[in-house]
Amino acid sequence: MVVSLATRAERKLDVDEKPRMCGEDKARLLRLKRRFSFHRPFLDNLSACAQFQFIMQNLSSLDRRRFLTRAGMSLALFAVPGAFAEQLIRTPAQTEGPFYPDHLPLDTDNDLIVINDAITPAVGEITYMSGRILDANGDPVRNALVEIWQCDNGGAYLHSHTGNAEKRDRNFQGFGRFLTGSTGEYLFRTIKPVSYPGRTPHIHYKVKAKGKDLLTTQCYIKGHPGNEKDGIWRSVRDEKLRDAITVDFAPLKGAKAGELAARFDIVLGVTPES
Ligand SMILES: [Fe+2]
């Protein structure tokens, strides 16, 4: 099963990114959003910057010119992610670890909860993991292949040398991929990561473009007591860098089954050739 970015509308994914916008910019964005009322639920779940990009991509060229003339410099500056490049913290690399799948699952899509059309879902706390892949200038990276892998709710990886292999959850996909579009957004439906012997909960990430590995890292749960005891988390000594890979797993607003949402933006140290 594929989880579509568009279906985030119904799920009211709470995007925590709050770029600074002046009141006038907000009013302009609101006016534009009114014209895109059909997309409104979808737009409401994107960051202001992603909303702007979406609108710009969908305006006719004439409208776009008219809008740009009216909007003036402040929103135009705001809309250029590169304008904030100096504030960007590059996501630190982390070890790949020994459990990148040595055999891929039958299904490698972005829904790790359901394998193909299976009826039984994976065990665990369902979590929507989303974020953007940005290059070193803060521009969204299109056609980045985002891969994640993690252990199941019982601590078993999709790997022949995993611990707890005999109890592995056969319904958990364990690995997934997402190819980014022009906004650099990605989305996975997976489980909240759990700890296993020697490690605090984490999700492994690998970002590739044109077959090249651009970044391998891990994402952690903010406030988890296991983090402080985890040698790999602690190996990132700079607090700001550690914060960049440690994110909130918060209840998804309006979710009936207690699903969670987490947002993990990845800033690459390179600008991939386009
Ligand atoms: Fe791991």
C-alpha 230 to ligand 1 mean position (Å): 11
| CA nearest to 50, candidates 111, 116, 120, 130 | 130
**Is 101 inside any structural domain?**
no
- The domain of 15 spans 5-79
* Domain co-membership, 130 together with 263: yes
**Is 86 inside any structural domain?**
no
* Domain co-membership, 135 together with 251: yes
* Domain co-membership, 62 together with 150: no
* Residue 225 predicted with pLDDT over 80: yes
**Is 253 inside any structural domain?**
yes
Which is it for strands 185-191 and 212-221: parallel, antiparallel or unpaired?
Answer: unpaired
**Is 110 inside any structural domain?**
no
- How long is the chain? 274
Retrieve residue 18's tokens: 């709050």
Retrieve residue 249's tokens: 């797993």
Instruction: Give the pLDDT confidence score for residue 188 in this predicted structure.
Output: 96
- Which residues fall within 8 angstroms of residue 141, CB to CB, at 6 or more apart? 133, 134, 135, 180, 184, 207, 209, 268, 272
**DSSP state letter for 119:** S
Q: What is the pLDDT of residues 60-78, one digit of tens each?
A: 433 443 444 344 333 343 4
* Domain co-membership, 68 together with 175: no
**Is 47 inside any structural domain?**
yes
Q: What is the pLDDT of residues 88-100, one digit of tens each?
A: 899 999 999 999 9
Retrieve residue 8's tokens: 């985030």
C-alpha 106 to ligand 1 mean position (Å): 21
C-alpha 127 to ligand 1 mean position (Å): 17
Q: What is the pLDDT of residues 191-212, one digit of tens each?
A: 999 999 999 999 999 999 998 9
User: In total, how many domains does the chain have?
Assistant: 2
Domain final position from 44, 79, 114: 79
C-alpha 250 to ligand 1 mean position (Å): 22
pTM: 0.72
Average pLDDT over residues 131-141: 94
* Domain co-membership, 143 together with 244: yes
* Domain co-membership, 73 together with 202: no
C-alpha 56 to ligand 1 mean position (Å): 39
* Residue 54 predicted with pLDDT over 70: no
**Is 37 inside any structural domain?**
yes
Instruction: Give the pLDDT confidence score for residue 70 in this predicted structure.
Output: 41
Instruction: Give the pLDDT confidence score for residue 73 in this predicted structure.
Output: 34
Instruction: Give the pLDDT confidence score for residue 88 in this predicted structure.
Output: 86
**Is 191 inside any structural domain?**
yes
C-alpha 2 to ligand 1 mean position (Å): 24
C-alpha 203 to ligand 1 mean position (Å): 7
C-alpha 63 to ligand 1 mean position (Å): 48
Confidence class for position 256, pLDDT limits 50, 70, 90: confident
Retrieve residue 245's tokens: 């890979």
* Domain co-membership, 244 together with 132: yes
C-alpha 196 to ligand 1 mean position (Å): 8
Burial 166-204 (b: 16+ CB within 10 A, else e): eebbebbbbbbbbebeebbbbbbbbbbbbbbeebbbbbb
Query: Rounded mean pLDDT of the chain?
Result: 81
C-alpha 212 to ligand 1 mean position (Å): 22
* Residue 30 predicted with pLDDT over 60: yes
